C-alpha cells in the first residue's frame, strides 16, 4: 500500500537503515532498570523509594521469565495496519495474565524484610482486593482516570501491566506495526512516552527514541520535533546548573509542555524510567516554569523529593 511520507520520515530517508522501532527485550529491560535504580539510590533524597522500586523491578524480571500472554491475533494486527492504529490500545482490557503477575509481584513485595510500613500497608490492601476490583483499577490507570485515593496503588498495578505488555511487544514483528497518528503515542499500546532517549551504539546510535512507560517499546522521532505536539518551533532544553548533563528537560513553546530526554552519549548507563525517577529535582524546578510535564511516570505515585534550590540553566537547542 502506498502512502504519503510524513515530515519526520522524509528527513530520515537518507539514513533509513536505522531501526524505526526498538521492541523491548524484557529480560534485559528489567535487569538493567533494577541495576540503574540501585546505582542512582546511593545518597539520593528518595533513596528508600528507589531501592523499593529496584526490588519491584527485580520481581518484574522474575515474572517476565514465566509470563504467558496470548499471541496477538493476526486480524488485530491487520486492522491496526489498515487504520494506522496502535496494535493494542492500552485502555482495552489487558491480557488476563496480568492479574496473576500482580498477585506474584504483591507476594514478592510482602516478603521483603525491609519494606517501609506505608508500602507494606499499601501492598496488603491491594492484595486483599478481589479480581473484579483490580481489573477496574487497571482500567482506571490505563485510561488515566484514577482518583487521587487510588494513586498509591499505581506503581504496583502498572508494574504488573508492564510485564504483560512488554512480553506482548517483545514478540511482535516490527514490519507489522503501523505508523500511528499522532506519532507521539506508542505504536504498540497507544500510551504516551515517559521520556525520550538518545541512543548510542549499533544502528540506533545517534538517534532519538521515545520510550513507552507501559510496554517499553521505543519509536524514533527526529530530535527537532517536540515529542508531545510534534512542533518544530521553539524546542529547547533546560537542565540543572551543575547537575546531571545526561538528563535534560526538553521544553516546547508551542504546547508549553516539557518531557525529559536522557542521553546515552553523556552516560551510557542511562535507563529511561529509572533516570526519570532519579531526576525528580528537575521536575520540582520545572514546576516553577510555564511548562507542564507532558506525561507521568507509571512507577511514581508515592515518592516525593525536596526542592534543592539549584538554579535552572537554560540552553538553546
* Site for Zn ion contains 157 (CB under 5 A): no
How far is residue 72 from each of residues 129, 141, 238, 287, measured CA to CA in Å? 29, 22, 40, 40
Stretch that binds Zn ion, among 11-19, 170-178, 229-237, 277-285 (CB under 5 A): 229-237
33 interacts with Zn ion by CB under 5 A: no
Q: How far is the CB of 282 from Zn ion (least distance, A)?
A: 18
Q: Is 166 in the site for Zn ion (CB under 5 A)?
A: no
Instruction: Check residue 72 for interaction with Zn ion (CB under 5 A).
Output: no
Span interacting with Zn ion, options 13-21, 34-42, 58-66, 180-188, rule CB under 5 A: 180-188
Distance of CA 54 to the CA centre of its chain: 15
What distances in angstroms separate CA 163 from CA 10, 81, 212, 229, one per listed residue? 34, 24, 13, 28
For residue 84, what is its C-alpha cell? 494506522
Q: Decide: is 301 part of the binding site for Zn ion (CB under 5 A).
A: no
Give least dist CB 272 to Zn ion, A: 12
CB under 5 A: which stretch of 61-69, 70-78, 186-194, 266-274 binds Zn ion?
A: 186-194
Q: Which of 25, 39, 232, 254 binds Zn ion (CB under 5 A)?
A: 254
Q: Is 240 in the site for Zn ion (CB under 5 A)?
A: no
DSSP 210: E
Residue identified by cell 516525593 is 304
Contacts of 258 (CB under 8 A, 6+ apart): 238, 249, 250, 251, 252, 286, 289, 291, 292, 293, 294
Tell me, by CB under 5 A, how many residues bind Zn ion.
15
Q: Which three cell numbers stand for residue 297?
A: 511516570
Is the CB of 212 or the CB of 247 nearer to Zn ion? Answer: 212
Shortest Å, Cβ 91 to Zn ion: 12
188 binds Zn ion (CB under 5 A): yes
- Which residue, chain included where needed, has cell 494513586? 151
Contact between 232 and Zn ion by CB under 5 A: the answer reads no
Q: Which of 156, 252, 270, 300 is close enough to bind Zn ion by CB under 5 A? A: 252
State which residue, 153 or 226, has the beta carbon closest to Zn ion.
Answer: 226
Query: Does the protein bind Zn ion through residue 101 (CB under 5 A)?
Result: no
Q: Can you name the residues that pair with 263 across neighbouring β-strands?
A: 198
Strand partners, 197: 209, 262
User: Is residue 189 a contact residue for Zn ion (CB under 5 A)?
Assistant: yes
**217, 23 Cβ separation under 8 angstroms:** yes
* 41, 54 contact by CB (below 8 A): yes
Cα 54 to Cα 73: distance, rounded to the nearest angstrom = 34
Confirm or reject binding of residue 186 to Zn ion (CB under 5 A): yes
Residue 227 has, within 13 A of its CA and on its CB side, a CA count of 31
Q: Is 226 in the site for Zn ion (CB under 5 A)?
A: yes
Q: What is the DSSP string of 238-253?
A: EEETTS-TTEEEEEET
CB-wise, 244 or 250, nearer to Zn ion?
250
Query: Does 225 interact with Zn ion (rule: CB under 5 A)?
Result: no
- Cβ nearer to Zn ion, comparing 54 with 90: 90
> Residues interacting with Zn ion, by CB under 5 A?
186, 188-189, 191, 212, 214-215, 217, 226, 228-229, 231, 252, 254-255
Amino acid at each position: 500500500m502506498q502512502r504519503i511520507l510524513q515530515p519526520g520520515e522524509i528527513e530520515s530517508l537518507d539514513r533509513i537503515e536505522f531501526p524505526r522501532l526498538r521492541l523491548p527485550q524484557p529480560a534485559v529491560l528489567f535487569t538493567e532498570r533494577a541495576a540503574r535504580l540501585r546505582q542512582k539510590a546511593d545518597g539520593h533524597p528518595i533513596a528508600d523509594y528507589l531501592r523499593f522500586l529496584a526490588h519491584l523491578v527485580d520481581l518484574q524480571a522474575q515474572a517476565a521469565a514465566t509470563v504467558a500472554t496470548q499471541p496477538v491475533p493476526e486480524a488485530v494486527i491487520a486492522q491496526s495496519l489498515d487504520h494506522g492504529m496502535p496494535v493494542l490500545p492500552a485502555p482495552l482490557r489487558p491480557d488476563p495474565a496480568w492479574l496473576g503477575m500482580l498477585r506474584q509481584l504483591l507476594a514478592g513485595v510482602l516478603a521483603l524484610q525491609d519494606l517501609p510500613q506505608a508500602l507494606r500497608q499499601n501492598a496488603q490492601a491491594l492484595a486483599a482486593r478481589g479480581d473484579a476490583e483490580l481489573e477496574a483499577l487497571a482500567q482506571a490507570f490505563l485510561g488515566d482516570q484514577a482518583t487521587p485515593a487510588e494513586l498509591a496503588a499505581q506503581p504496583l498495578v502498572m508494574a504488573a501491566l508492564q510485564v504483560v505488555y512488554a512480553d506482548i511487544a517483545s514478540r511482535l514483528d516490527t514490519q507489522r506495526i503501523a505508523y500511528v497518528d499522532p506519532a507521539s503515542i506508542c505504536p504498540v499500546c497507544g500510551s504516551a512516552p515517559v521520556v525520550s532517549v538518545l541512543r548510542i551504539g549499533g544502528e540506533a546510535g545517534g538517534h532519538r527514541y521515545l520510550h513507552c512507560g507501559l510496554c517499553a517499546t521505543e519509536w524514533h522521532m527526529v530530535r527537532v520535533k517536540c515529542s508531545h505536539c510534534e512542533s518544530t518551533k521553539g524546542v529547547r532544553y533546560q537542565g540543572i546548573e551543575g547537575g546531571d548533563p545526561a538528563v535534560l528537560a526538553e521544553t516546547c513553546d508551542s504546547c508549553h509542555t516539557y518531557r525529559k530526554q536522557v542521553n546515552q552519549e553523556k552516560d551510557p548507563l542511562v535507563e529511561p524510567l529509572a533516570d526519570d525517577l532519579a531526576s525528580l529535582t528537575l521536575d520540582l524546578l520545572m514546576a516553577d516554569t510555564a511548562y507542564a510535564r507532558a506525561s507521568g511516570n507509571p512507577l511514581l505515585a508515592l515518592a516525593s523529593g525536596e526542592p534543592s534550590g539549584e538554579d535552572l540553566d537554560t540552553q538553546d537547542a
